[in-house]
Chain A
Amino acid sequence: MHEWSVAEGILRSVIEWAKENNLDSVRKVKVAIPSFTFLELDILKEAYDTLKRGTVLEKSSLEVVYKDPLFKCRNCGNTFNLNQVLGELNEVREEFGEEYPLHLVPGLAPAFIKCPKCGSNDVEVSPQDITIEEVEVNGTAGSSG
């Protein structure tokens, strides 16, 4: 169900941007989502299509790309990828079920992911935000900034 909040955030953000730029029609929105949030694409699109009605995004489509984070331990300098901590993430998912913490708040990643080399939680995660990568308006495409 968290997908509905995410969809609302995406829509609000683009509606504000369109208003600031005096645009009256958006064709496509491309967003990037951290893969470790395990957001359900079908629910996100259903929420987007429901909430966009009556807005400048009414005729727009949503494209989602998943981005795998890269981790860097600030304690020992080790860099590692998602596969190396998948076991830890799966344990958290098993404990919490559908509303597991990183699904709701991806910024919590360092609290749940330890460096495989030294065990520190002082881990920098990038990228971890839900970001709008591109918005297409009347045949033009631009970066969201």
Chain B
Amino acid sequence: MTTSVDIVSEGTDSPYALSHLDALESEAVHIFREVAGEFERPVILFSGGKDSIVMLHLALKAFAPAPVPFSLLHVDTGHNFPEVLEYRDRTVARHGLRLHVASVQEYIDAGKLRERPDGTRNPLQTVPLTEAIQQHRFDAVFGGGRRDEEKARAKERVFSLRDEFSQWDPRRQRPELWQLYNGRHAPGEHVRVFPLSNWTELDVWQYIQREKIELPQIYFAHEREVFKRSGMWLTAGEWGGPKESETPQKRLVRYRTVGDMSCTGAVDSDATTLDAVIAEIAASRLTERGATRADDKLSEAAMEDRKREGYF
């Protein structure tokens, strides 16, 4: 039963229809430009992972032919993949960007952070991150978080106000209406900004393909020495694996996310091209995080709890 009181629309074959990737791109660029217009000292969190690579690509497009008016911040856990660090430095040099590095290892060496018994360094990133934000007085911090990643992130705003301790309070979020982002904050507070909020993992990959964006090679299938821990293939290395009870073996694998070696698992894959990766993800019955992230399995609300503490 359709009652047309007044027809206001036409078919989707309109010449003015935007593809979903164009619509997401346009929205993300709008968010970058809003931040550039409203904040004094924004910074892009850049890990060398695909989401931050797409963020940087969008920022480059948003301000072209001028340079990106933001610097980059990387929280280096000390257990990062060498290929990714190499990619990071090459990218920074190519675009003439400024990179700040907050080092978990330095915090551990200085006795300000203690290694966890399980060897996972991901949760240790929060302190160096929040201190770097305070030290550099960053007032807007771009993160590559997507709402499709995790159920606590589904509740996250595009502009997410954080207090002076970088804490997220899900009950005190500002309603976000239309495309009117409210970035007002008190001194010491800052705003986390998520331009990829409305993107899914598949959108990110399709966009990488369309824009021919280069990625670190660990995203594609390659032979690697790995061992099994908590049901995941972890890369063997000096960071702390394998233990005596764990047996290393060579496998054909690739990574769906790029994080700390101690908590990011590889997936068995023979996808060596973008087409193959996209086909694999589209057919996968596991989410990106469910497949490869140990830190989210710590408890039912692991992500929410870390976000409350200031994690990105």
Do A and B pair up? The answer is no
Q: Which A residues fall within an 8 A CB radius of B?
A: none
Q: Which B residues fall within an 8 A CB radius of A?
A: none
